[in-house]
Structure 1
Amino acid sequence: MPVARVCVDVPHAHLDRPFDYLVPESLDAQTVPGTRVRVRFSGQLVDGYVLERVDDSAHTGRLAFLERVVSPEQVLHPEIARLARAVADRYGGTLADVLRLAVPPRHARAEGKAETTAGIAAAAHPTDSGWSAYPAGAAFLRAVADGRPARAVWSALPGEDWPARLAEAAAAADAGGRGAVLVVADARDLDRLDAALTRVLGAGRHVALSAAVGPEERYRRFLAASRGRVRVVAGTRAAAFAPADPLGLVAIWDDGDDLHAEPRAPYPHAREVLLTRAQLGNCAALVGGYARSAEAQQLLETGWAKEIAAPREVVHRAAPHVQPVGDDVQLDRDPAAVTARLPSVAWRAARDALAAGAPVLVQVPRRGYLPSVACADCHTPARCPSCAGPLALRESGGAPVCRWCGKVAAAYACPHCGGRRLRASVTGARRTAEELGRAFPGTPVRTSGRDGVLDSVPAQPAVVVSTPGAEPVAEGGYGAVLLLDTWALLTRADLRAGEETLRRWLAAAALARPGRRGGRVVVTADAGIPTVQALLRWDPAWLAARELSERRELRFPPAVRFASLTGSPDAVADLLATAELPPDAELLGPVPADDDQERMLVRVPRSAGRRLAASLHAAAGVRSAKKARDPVRVQIDPLELL
């Protein structure tokens, strides 16, 4: 087989195909599928991956020789190559772009340090498992251990030790002699999952892939999985492509988190990558979380997956007591509560929890001090005189500063009424912490957010003010969780506003103690709002089914497929004129985008999604072959539609 088919690392869509090269006799032993090579392409030396060796080439011209083999290490396994091709086709991208996400950059020193093990002894099947709280949990673990392709959507109980449950599922796959790939949203979740895997599997039986460990260490851990030294891989979104052969389980936690969406072309979502992998590899799949996305609900309603959920009586025993407070509730007459602008119910819940020796969690949607201000007289939003950006206050008594250009507007005057006094439009986490410090004198107040994220807090009286996603875990659970400024989440101009709001609320509320142990959650919102109703009943499945039903009626994802085309008006028009769109495609727009660009949406039925991606990819190839000057960003099923 003297011919090597190579995926050349070039970004152009019209070059998205393998190219044939002759293998010199001196490189014959090293040139195996999955190795990195250097080839001459269009007069330049570029990188590539060997996809396969074949006897002959369909190319009628003269073939060039491989220049060299960068490393004999097989880093691109056949399963991952097939997956990468399927993901590229799903999102209208190129194989080279997907492989940049799938295979980390090479570090020669790490290749020398990485160990190789001939075989791995199977781990013991977990006998005492927390999955027993779910009627279908034990059956799912048995299916994973037996190598059957069980697919499930898991609604975790309030306060569930979800890292331990995922580790037990991975141990079941490992006990059956198969691998597992577990994906979480961020480094904090990965640290918890890493510790749980060490407890359940034992030290050295898994790897955690994260950019936080550095390029060399990450590549060393990748090689440990690639060489078969470990069978279980955990990580953030790029770990969805991690090698694990034979694969028995793929799992994702909190698939609604937008961190699972890759910001680089072709913008794949980790959930879709894992589900595609489960389909291609005929292995088990698990989509879990406290909340449930509309995409997960669709997996259930189409029959692709089964539900793993606890009985309602078990949910009620585990859930904290949730109480809604409308915006018009009379403030408590206590001066401290009035200063903190807390409803009386929320203030009493926090006071009682602190008196019982438990910490209190306060979730605030925005970080900073006063991230948005307005004129105190006419309520007109305060804008920068230089760039028209929003003004903010960074500290008490400070001058307003523009959040866009950073200029200080010390002499700001409202252009509508001339007023010079400012009021808060949005209260940030630091201002909230300052107010709570006055409301509960003598109680420590800690913040967790972008400037510093707390992993955990001890079981002692303290007020923890956190932005969504940065809530620390409390030993024994929080005595009270206060969800403030809820309108900032509920009124966002976003298709997923309700779903995302419930996801953030449940993530915080799940850290509270059960109601039978005094745990309380106070949400400052009207009880009649469907999202608040789902929180009150702790029923994310009900809201997910409602969301999916409404999206079917309105023809929004995931009921249909969307493509977002962003670029200059001429470039977008050129791409659409070139593309052979499905006959039932519907064009929505254009609407203005950033930097004098516009965005066009293309909507098709789900059955035409693959054809839509193929037509846009082909049109992008025609434009790149013509060397079109203005690019167009193509995103299939983007998270943000509005």
Structure 2
Amino acid sequence: MPQAAPPSEGGGPNGRAPGYARVIVDVRPAHLDHPFDYRIPEGATVGIGQRVRVAFAGRRRTGWVVDLADEPETDPARVRDLALVQGETRWFDRDDLRFYRWVADRWAGTLADVLRHAVPARVAAVDREAAEWPAPPPCTPSRPPPAAAWEAYGAESLLAAADAPDESGAPAFWWRPLADADPAGAVAELAARTLAAGRGVLVIAPEPNAPALDAVAGLDPDRTVDWRAAQGPRSRHRAFLRGRTGHARVAVGERGAVFAPVAELGLVIALDEANPAYKEHRSPRFHARDVALARARFAGVPAVVTGDLPSAALWRLLGDGHVAELRAPRAVETDRAPAVEVIDLADPRPRPRARLSSVADRALARTVGEGGAALVLATRRGEGTALACSGCGERLVCPVCAGSLAAHGSGRGCPTCGWTGSAEPCRRCGDTRTAPLAAGAERLAAELGRAHPAAEVVALEGYDAPGPTERPAIAVATRGAIVDRPGWLGSDRATVLVVPDADALRGRADLEAGEDALRLWMDAARLADHIVLQTREPRAAGVQALVRWDPDGFWRREERWRAELGFPPARTLVRVEAGRHAELVGEQLREALAGIADVLGPDPGGALLVKTARLRGTLRALVPLRAAWGRDDLGVRVDVDPVPAG
């Protein structure tokens, strides 16, 4: 049966039940982010975590009971009765509440915002159904299963924590799998050890088709809640109750599943921790990696986050000692990494005017001739619009904003600022011919199909895109199609991975462009035995880190210049979107954060950027400002740790 509320907790003189409930009301303004007192009607049973209906500002609203008291904190004559207690289910307890409040404070949100993410809508029919459930079967610890997949990583401390989480404290680990490893199998082994210890497991991934989610869900299907399948209020309510009551011991899913209840939680795993899909777009704009780490810390259990290249946030945690590295010896990493061949497009010898160098051409032709599979990484979808000189490869730039130019009728146009003009010769070499700076997947697939008619050539745009079904094959994939163990490859690996437009991704006008490019290349490299990467800057940090399979070396170089500019990992960013109130909000921020943080902007869209090395102090200083903005209905939105678009 679901966890029901006992008689009202606490107790006043003579053991009487508390007379008042403190309720968080489901409203958005920050100045209302505190409990309101309501009188408990005579004979009602109320406990912390119950959902209620209350009268608030002339309307009936949903609320959640967060505390009980003998006396109200306001004039009793002004206190109203609870309008309705919605069922007996207790959706959270005091420990959950502490965790939810931490999330709200860390991402400058409200407790009501977090509860909207963490607690599903109630369906009365599901409550009635759950009332008939038998008690969940007991969890009997058993002998830990083998963990052969972890032998290469010196993972004794992690395995010990999985076997006995109560004795391990709450260690956090960052695991970098070997390039030819099976991460899904290793994650399943670790989850199986935790289940054998009689504890529950939570695993999240940024994409729904992650093989590790399927592998873990298959360990104990009857006692697993798969939040990927929990669509709609009824199924989400049922999934929540199964986890909260102990009928399920395993929860798997995407970003939102980080709040999924798991009875006797013993392990939290977040796969591909740097993936931007982990960033929530609704308030509070949390990052699921950090929520997962905090979830494990609050529960006193181990956490594991995975990836090849750490995010800036994780690099800071590693440097501060809050997260421990879990990786194979350096010699083993490099020995099992794919071979990388870099083609310098600045050298006139490898056919610089062609889309592909002769080396890449030969690699694809050899793969097709042998009946194998090749993977070509496209920078973008579709046809590709940004133009470059056909003669020297120079990007055509707008004379007004320096953005990339595209074809506009018989001339040129800037999609960024709207400038249009005639087609002028290249300012570098004088050539008048142009070509797309980087071909989109469809254009590139069409070109390769003509060049290799014996192969099935398919453009893949998205994680669920169907791939080639025959061999030989060439898959032209955008970043969204680079997933662990794609269906079109099965258990095989591609013979070659070709990256024809490395500079188009690495050279984006974005602070994180180099980091993002290297992470994508390393993800794609796991699918192939040999890599051919074309670039005009072969000595760039990201290119060399790929050649050496040395992401740590990339960060050691990258963090120095980022620190000089005051960007992560040295500092934390906070984006404040104020729209037409940007000038006023900017003045308030500069006054409140003087000596704590730097405030830049506003930009033309009314956004300001706060750079701080003292996040806690900055967030505390924002509390009264957020309350004032909410009270004045300015519509200001705060985004801590913003993730760049694209």
TM-score band by shorter chain is 0.7 to 0.9
Among 427, 450, 475, the residue aligned to 2:439? 427
Q: Is the 8 A contact 1:375 1:382 kept in 2?
A: no
Would the alpha carbon gap of residues 556 and 78 (structure 1) be closer, same or farther in structure 2, given more than 3 Å must change?
A: same
> Could you tell me which residue of structure 1 aligns to residue 283 of structure 2?
265
For residues 152-301 of structure 1, what are the structure 2 equivalents within 5 Å? 152-189=173-210, 192-199=211-218, 201-210=219-228, 213-301=231-319
Would the alpha carbon gap of residues 535 and 332 (structure 1) be closer, same or farther in structure 2, given more than 3 Å must change?
A: closer
In the aligned structure 1, how far is the partner of 2:552 from the partner of 2:83?
Answer: 56
> Could you tell me which residue of structure 1 aligns to residue 448 of structure 2?
436
For residues 50-199 of structure 1, what are the structure 2 equivalents within 5 Å? 50-62=65-77, 63-114=79-130, 115=133, 117-122=135-140, 127-147=145-165, 148=168, 149-189=170-210, 192-199=211-218
Q: Could you tell which deviates more after superposition, 572-581 or 174-183?
A: 572-581
Q: Is the 8 A contact 1:587 1:600 kept in 2?
A: no
In the aligned structure 2, how far is the partner of 1:294 from the partner of 1:38?
Answer: 43
Partner SS, residue 96 of structure 2: helix
Partner SS, residue 120 of structure 2: coil
Would the alpha carbon gap of residues 446 and 403 (structure 1) be closer, same or farther in structure 2, given more than 3 Å must change?
A: farther
Q: Is the 8 A contact 1:360 1:478 kept in 2?
A: yes
For residues 597-612 of structure 1, what are the structure 2 equivalents within 5 Å? 597=606, 599-605=607-613, 608-612=614-618
Q: Is the 8 A contact 1:36 1:69 kept in 2?
A: yes
Give the aligned residue type for 1:530: A
Give the aligned residue type for 2:359: V
Cα deviations by residue, 1:210-239 (Å, 9 ceiling, x for unpaired): 377444333322222122111221211111
Give the aligned residue type for 1:433: A
Q: Does 1:358 align with 2:372?
A: yes
Give the aligned residue type for 2:215: A
Deviation at 1:89, TM superposition (A): 1.0
> Could you tell me which residue of structure 2 aligns to residue 637 of structure 1?
641
Deviation at 1:639, TM superposition (A): 2.4
Please, what TM-score do these two structures have when normalized by structure 1?
Answer: 0.86
In the aligned structure 2, how far is the partner of 1:134 from the partner of 1:572?
Answer: 55
For residues 418-497 of structure 1, what are the structure 2 equivalents within 5 Å? 423-450=435-462, 453-454=464-465, 460-471=471-482, 473=486, 474=489, 475-497=491-513
Q: Is the 8 A contact 1:360 1:479 kept in 2?
A: yes
Would the alpha carbon gap of residues 265 and 177 (structure 1) be closer, same or farther in structure 2, given more than 3 Å must change?
A: same
Q: Is the 8 A contact 2:285 2:639 kept in 1?
A: yes
In the aligned structure 1, how far is the partner of 2:468 from the partner of 2:42?
Answer: 63
Partner SS, residue 505 of structure 2: helix
In the aligned structure 2, how far is the partner of 1:43 from the partner of 1:635?
Answer: 31
In the aligned structure 2, how far is the partner of 1:204 from the partner of 1:403?
Answer: 53
Q: Does 1:38 align with 2:53?
A: yes
Deviation at 1:323, TM superposition (A): 0.9
Partner SS, residue 622 of structure 2: helix
Among 354, 360, 374, the residue aligned to 1:346? 360
Q: Is the 8 A contact 2:599 2:608 kept in 1?
A: yes
- For structure 1, the residue ranges without an aligned partner over 5 or more in a row are 513-518
In the aligned structure 2, how far is the partner of 1:52 from the partner of 1:586?
Answer: 35
Q: Is the 8 A contact 2:458 2:474 kept in 1?
A: yes
In the aligned structure 1, how far is the partner of 2:361 from the partner of 2:296?
Answer: 48
Deviation at 1:294, TM superposition (A): 2.4
For residues 501-580 of structure 1, what are the structure 2 equivalents within 5 Å? 501-512=517-528, 519-525=529-535, 526-568=537-579, 570-574=581-585, 576-577=587-588
For residues 389-400 of structure 1, what are the structure 2 equivalents within 5 Å? none
Q: Does 1:581 align with 2:592?
A: yes
Partner SS, residue 71 of structure 1: coil
Cα deviations by residue, 1:92-120 (Å, 9 ceiling, x for unpaired): 21111111122222333444455564344
> Could you tell me which residue of structure 2 aligns to residue 516 of structure 1?
none
Q: Is the 8 A contact 1:13 1:618 kept in 2?
A: no
Relative contact order (alpha carbons < 8 A, sep ≥ 6): 1 or 2 greater?
Answer: 1
Q: Is the 8 A contact 1:413 1:420 kept in 2?
A: no
Would the alpha carbon gap of residues 276 and 353 (structure 1) be closer, same or farther in structure 2, given more than 3 Å must change?
A: same
Q: Does 1:613 align with 2:619?
A: yes
In the aligned structure 2, how far is the partner of 1:125 from the partner of 1:401?
Answer: 68
Among 409, 415, 422, the residue aligned to 1:414? 422
Give the aligned residue type for 1:624: G
Partner SS, residue 347 of structure 1: helix
Q: Is the 8 A contact 2:340 2:547 kept in 1?
A: yes
Q: Could you tell which deviates more after superposition, 301-310 or 129-138?
A: 129-138
Q: Is the 8 A contact 2:147 2:190 kept in 1?
A: no
Q: Is the 8 A contact 1:571 1:631 kept in 2?
A: no
Cα deviations by residue, 1:184-235 (Å, 9 ceiling, x for unpaired): 112222xx23321134x23223222137744433332222212211122121
Give the aligned residue type for 2:235: E
In the aligned structure 1, how far is the partner of 2:586 from the partner of 2:508?
Answer: 31
Cα deviations by residue, 1:64-87 (Å, 9 ceiling, x for unpaired): 111112232222343332111111
In the aligned structure 2, how far is the partner of 1:354 from the partner of 1:124?
Answer: 51
In the aligned structure 2, how far is the partner of 1:537 from the partner of 1:424?
Answer: 30
Q: Is the 8 A contact 2:377 2:477 kept in 1?
A: yes
Cα deviations by residue, 1:148-170 (Å, 9 ceiling, x for unpaired): 22211111111322222222222
In the aligned structure 1, how far is the partner of 2:626 from the partner of 2:272?
Answer: 33
Deviation at 1:524, TM superposition (A): 1.0
Q: Is the 8 A contact 2:413 2:421 kept in 1?
A: no
Q: Is the 8 A contact 2:149 2:185 kept in 1?
A: no
Deviation at 1:126, TM superposition (A): 5.3
Would the alpha carbon gap of residues 118 and 458 (structure 1) be closer, same or farther in structure 2, given more than 3 Å must change?
A: same
Q: How many residues align?
A: 608
Partner SS, residue 134 of structure 1: helix
Q: Is the 8 A contact 1:205 1:232 kept in 2?
A: yes
Deviation at 1:124, TM superposition (A): 5.1
Would the alpha carbon gap of residues 136 and 12 (structure 1) be closer, same or farther in structure 2, given more than 3 Å must change?
A: same
In the aligned structure 1, how far is the partner of 2:151 from the partner of 2:517?
Answer: 27
In the aligned structure 2, how far is the partner of 1:533 from the partner of 1:375?
Answer: 26
Would the alpha carbon gap of residues 631 and 6 (structure 1) be closer, same or farther in structure 2, given more than 3 Å must change?
A: same
Q: Is the 8 A contact 2:541 2:557 kept in 1?
A: no
Deviation at 1:258, TM superposition (A): 0.9
Q: Is the 8 A contact 1:358 1:478 kept in 2?
A: yes
Cα deviations by residue, 1:410-457 (Å, 9 ceiling, x for unpaired): xx973768x99874233100000011111211100112114x733676
> Could you tell me which residue of structure 2 aligns to residue 515 of structure 1?
none
Would the alpha carbon gap of residues 16 and 174 (structure 1) be closer, same or farther in structure 2, given more than 3 Å must change?
A: same
- For structure 2, the residue ranges without an aligned partner over 5 or more in a row are 1-17, 426-430
Deviation at 1:324, TM superposition (A): 0.9
In the aligned structure 2, how far is the partner of 1:582 from the partner of 1:117?
Answer: 53
Q: Is the 8 A contact 1:180 1:244 kept in 2?
A: yes
Partner SS, residue 601 of structure 2: strand
Give the aligned residue type for 2:197: G
In the aligned structure 2, how far is the partner of 1:106 from the partner of 1:400?
Answer: 56
In the aligned structure 1, how far is the partner of 2:412 from the partner of 2:589?
Answer: 49
Among 311, 319, 322, the residue aligned to 2:329? 311
In the aligned structure 2, how far is the partner of 1:270 from the partner of 1:366?
Answer: 26
In the aligned structure 1, how far is the partner of 2:395 from the partner of 2:555?
Answer: 36
